[in-house]
Every structure is written in C-alpha cells, then in structure tokens.
Amino acid sequence: MPESLSVCCPACRREHLYTAPSFPCVCGATVTPALDRHGTATAVTHALRAENWMSLRCAVCGRRDEWPYPELGCPCGTVLRVPVTGESTVPDTEGTAGESTAPDTTGTAGESTAPDTTGTAGGTGAAGPGTGRPRFPPVAIRTPRDAVTAAALYLRRLGYRDLRRADQRPPSGVGLAARGLLAQVDPTVRPASLRDVECLWLTAMTESAVCVYFSLAGYAGDARARADDLGVSLFVLDLTGTAQPVNGLADELDRGAPLGGR
C-alpha cells in the first residue's frame, strides 16, 4: 500500500495526513514516490511551472520517468509541496478490488512486458476499456499540479508510453508531449479561449503532431467551434481527475480511435 505522512502547514499549523500517489509505469507496475519523513513541507509561492517535476525509477523494470512533485492543498489556502526522497517505493501489486497489477515477467530478459496495445492509435494507443488499457484510479484534483498528473495518467492509459514534458512551453498551463502527440493542460479557473486552442494547434503543426487540450474550467464557445475545424480534441478534467470528452474528436479518442488518422 502507498505510504502516508503527517504534513504540517507552515502557515496555519494544521496537520494533514497525506498519502503518496501512485503512477503507472509502462511495464504495468505502479511507481510510488518515497515520502521524506525527515523533510518539511514547504509553501508553493510560484506559478505552476513545467520543470517542477521529479524523476522516479520503476523498481520492477528500471525505467525512469518524470512526474509532478506531490502537492497538498490546505484549507487556509496554502499549497504545500510534500517532501520526497527522490526515490520510489516497491510497487503495490495488490491492485484495485483485489486484482493484481504486477507485470508478467516470464518473457525474455530485457523485453517489454507491457500489455499489448497494438492496432489502435498507430500502435501506441489502446483498444479501449476492458481490451488492453491499463487501469489506474484517477487522481483527485486539489492543486494545479494534480491536473497535470491526471492528464498524464489519462494519456498513458491510452497508450502514450513515452510521455514527457513538451520542449516548448505553452502560453498558459503545462505542455505534455509523446511521439506524434502534443497536449496542453490548463489548470486555471477561466475557460480556455480561442487563442489558447489556436496556439496549441500552431505549435503542434510545427512538430507534425496531433493535439489534445485538457481544461479544468471548460471552453469558450468560439474555442470549441474552432477546435472542431482544426482537429483539436478537447477534454474537461473534473475534480475527481476524470477526463470528460467535450467534442467528437475527444470522444473518438476516448473510445480508442486513432488520432489524426494514424
């Protein structure tokens, strides 16, 4: 089970019990950051920045991936960064509802044991619920960084295994990239505008990638109409961390249809 840590808010001195999140490795195991019991939670005073990520290595396959640092929202309004050691704990193999999530390690050494997700999204996606997609519980959104984590979990569930920070920072929010994909996560409380959607599309065109937009506050009417014209998949992240399709392209992607005809 993921470990928990008592976290004290430096602003109001409230004590919170924080449980470390679990992230999905492409091998099928879960990766959980080790909480630093000797560290101190610090208040986050800066805006959300893409480089504030931690690097974690999977204890099963050895792969190293980047994930947002754990954060906790205090009722006093302070956002706390939870201290971690920079290492990962041994993955929980009990799974959800008693189902094992441990990877099959009976194959040849060095070969990937991730679920077979060929046949959709150009070989990088998954076939849909119940047909090959790894299942991981969504991350409840309490801070902007939780929104980034939720979007990353969703994209990796679709089969985008090489997900990383985008090389080019978007005008707002955080950019995520994978082979042939560019995504933007907007954790602000304003609806995404026409300019936001067009900027994402223009950047994606320079990289010959299809694009996906995740917003917490929805989209302006003209932004939704323009996204359909440009081929941008739009999703809204609810507070449970679930990605809800907004337009037809997003609905097709959610069902496992190839992006951009790949």
Both ends of the chain: CA-CA distance in Å? 38
Q: What pLDDT digit, counting tens, does each position of 45-65 carry?
A: 655 444 467 778 888 888 887
Mean pLDDT of 18-30: 74
Quick one: which of 42, 73, 224 has its CA closest to 141?
Answer: 73
Percent of the chain with pLDDT over 70: 72
Confidence label for 110 from pLDDT (cuts 50, 70 and 90): very low
Confidence label for 226 from pLDDT (cuts 50, 70 and 90): very high
Quick one: which of 196, 174, 129 has its CA closest to 115?
Answer: 129
Q: What pLDDT digit, counting tens, does each position of 88-99 carry?
A: 654 443 333 333
At residue 117, does pLDDT exceed 50? no
CATH number for the domain formed by residue range(s) 116-262: 3.40.1350
Mean pLDDT of 111-118: 34
For residues 35 and 3, the answer to whether their CB atoms sit within 8 Å is yes
Mean pLDDT of 5-32: 82
Q: For the chain, where do the domains classified as CATH 3.40.1350 start and end?
A: 116-262
Mean pLDDT of 15-38: 79
Mean pLDDT of 32-46: 80
Mean pLDDT of 238-258: 87
Quick one: which of 125, 149, 126, 148 has its CA closest to 137?
Answer: 149
Confidence label for 185 from pLDDT (cuts 50, 70 and 90): very high
Read off φ and ψ for residue 71, nearest 5 degrees.
-135, 160
3-state secondary structure of 120: coil
Residue recorded with tokens 């190839």: 258
Mean pLDDT, the chain, as a whole number? 75
DSSP H or E segment with residue 243: strand 243-245
Confidence label for 260 from pLDDT (cuts 50, 70 and 90): very low
For residues 222 and 195, the answer to whether their CB atoms sit within 8 Å is no
Q: Residue 52: what pLDDT?
A: 64
Q: What pLDDT digit, counting tens, does each position of 134-163 carry?
A: 555 667 888 888 888 889 889 988 888 788
Mean pLDDT of 33-38: 84
At residue 80, does pLDDT exceed 50? yes
3-state secondary structure of 97: helix
Q: Residue 127: what pLDDT?
A: 36
Mean pLDDT of 223-228: 95
Residue recorded with tokens 């205090």: 74
